[in-house]
Structure 1
Amino acid sequence: MKYDQILKELKANQYKPVYFLHGNEPYYIDQLANFFEDNILDETEKAFNLTILYGKDIDHKQVVDQARRFPMMASHQVVIIKEAQSMSGLQQLQTYIENPLETTILVICHKHKKFDGRTKLANVVKKNAVLFESKKPYDNQMPAWITSYLTGIKLKIGPKEAALIAEYLGNDLGKVANELDKLAINLSKGHTVTADNIQEHIGISKDYNIFELQDALTARNHTKAYQILKYFQANPRNNPLVMVVAALFGFFSKVYLMHTLRNAPDREVQKVLGLPTPYFVKDYRKAAQQFNRRQTEKIIHLLKNYDLKSKGVGNASSSDQSMMQEMMYHILSV
Structure 2
Amino acid sequence: MPQISYDQLQRTLRDRAAGGAFFFHGDEDFFREEAVSRVVSAYLDEATRDFNFDQLRGSDVDGEALASVIATPPMMAEHRVVVLRDAQGLGQKAREVVEATAKSPEPGLVLVVSASIPSGSKAKFYDELKKAAVSVEFNPLAADDAPGWLMEEARQAHGLELDADAARAIVSAMGVELGMLTSELKKLAAYAVDRKRITLDDVKAVGGSIPRQDRWAWFDLVSERRFREALEALPVLLEQGENGVGLVIGMGGQLLKVGIVCAGGQSALERELKPFQRWMARRIVPVARKWTLPEVDAALGELLRTDRLLKSASMSDRQAMEELLLRLWAIRPQREGRAA
Global fold match (TM > 0.5): yes
Alignment CA distance shift 1:267-1:163 (3 Å) = farther
Moved more, 112-121 or 210-219: 112-121
| 1:31 alignment partner in structure 2 | 34
**Correspondence list, 1:93-132, <5 A:** 93-102=98-107, 104-111=109-116, 119-125=127-133, 130-132=134-136
Asked whether the equivalents of residues 231 and 325 of structure 2 are also in contact (C-alpha less than 8 Å), the reply is: no
Secondary structure (helix, strand or coil) at the match of 1:262 reads: helix
Q: What is the TM-score when the length of structure 1 is the normalising length? A: 0.70
Give the whole-Å Cα distance in 1 for the aligned partners of 2:289 and 2:180. 33
Asked whether the equivalents of residues 21 and 132 of structure 1 are also in contact (C-alpha less than 8 Å), the reply is: yes
Letter in 2 for 1:53: L
| 1:203 alignment partner in structure 2 | 209
Moved more, 112-121 or 289-298: 112-121
| 1:265 alignment partner in structure 2 | 265
Pick from 184, 187, 190: which aligns with 1:185? 190
Moved more, 55-64 or 67-76: 67-76
| 1:228 alignment partner in structure 2 | 233
**Correspondence list, 1:40-59, <5 A:** 40=44, 46=50, 50-59=53-62
Give the whole-Å Cα distance in 1 for the aligned partners of 2:59 and 2:49. 27
| 1:332 alignment partner in structure 2 | 326
Indicate yes or no: 2:69 matched with 1:66.
Answer: yes
- The count of residues paired between Structure 1 and Structure 2 equals 311
Which string of whole-angstrom CA distances, capped at 9 and with x for unpartnered residues, describes residues 174-208 of structure 1? 45434433322322255222222344444344x72
- Runs of at least 5 residues in structure 1 that lack an aligned partner in the other structure: none
Q: What displacement does 1:269 show?
A: 3.7
Give the whole-Å Cα distance in 1 for the aligned partners of 2:308 and 2:21. 51
Q: What displacement does 1:296 show?
A: 0.8
Q: What is the TM-score when the length of structure 2 is the normalising length? A: 0.69
| 2:333 alignment partner in structure 1 | none
Give the whole-Å Cα distance in 2 for the aligned partners of 1:204 and 1:4. 35
Q: What RMSD in Å do the two structures reach over aligned CA positions?
A: 4.3
Give the whole-Å Cα distance in 2 for the aligned partners of 1:77 and 1:54. 17
Pick from 205, 213, 219: which aligns with 2:218? 213
Letter in 1 for 2:222: L
Q: What displacement does 1:61 show?
A: 3.4
Give the whole-Å Cα distance in 1 for the aligned partners of 2:173 and 2:250. 10
Identity across matched positions, percent: 18
Secondary structure (helix, strand or coil) at the match of 1:52 reads: strand
Asked whether the equivalents of residues 254 and 284 of structure 1 are also in contact (C-alpha less than 8 Å), the reply is: no
Secondary structure (helix, strand or coil) at the match of 1:208 reads: coil
Q: What displacement does 1:209 show?
A: 1.7
Secondary structure (helix, strand or coil) at the match of 2:262 reads: coil
Q: What displacement does 1:35 show?
A: 5.5
Secondary structure (helix, strand or coil) at the match of 2:264 reads: coil
Q: What displacement does 1:285 show?
A: 1.4
| 1:4 alignment partner in structure 2 | 10
Indicate yes or no: 2:317 matched with 1:323.
Answer: yes
Letter in 1 for 2:236: Y
Letter in 1 for 2:234: L
Indicate yes or no: 2:156 matched with 1:154.
Answer: no
| 2:284 alignment partner in structure 1 | 281
Asked whether the equivalents of residues 56 and 83 of structure 1 are also in contact (C-alpha less than 8 Å), the reply is: yes
| 2:23 alignment partner in structure 1 | 20
Secondary structure (helix, strand or coil) at the match of 2:24 reads: strand
Give the whole-Å Cα distance in 1 for the aligned partners of 2:319 and 2:196. 39
Asked whether the equivalents of residues 253 and 300 of structure 1 are also in contact (C-alpha less than 8 Å), the reply is: no
| 2:252 alignment partner in structure 1 | 249
Letter in 2 for 1:147: M
Q: What displacement does 1:67 show?
A: 1.4
Which string of whole-angstrom CA distances, capped at 9 and with x for unpartnered residues, describes residues 26-54 of structure 1? 323211334567894769964x6543322
Alignment CA distance shift 1:249-1:167 (3 Å) = farther
Give the whole-Å Cα distance in 2 for the aligned partners of 1:178 and 1:306. 41
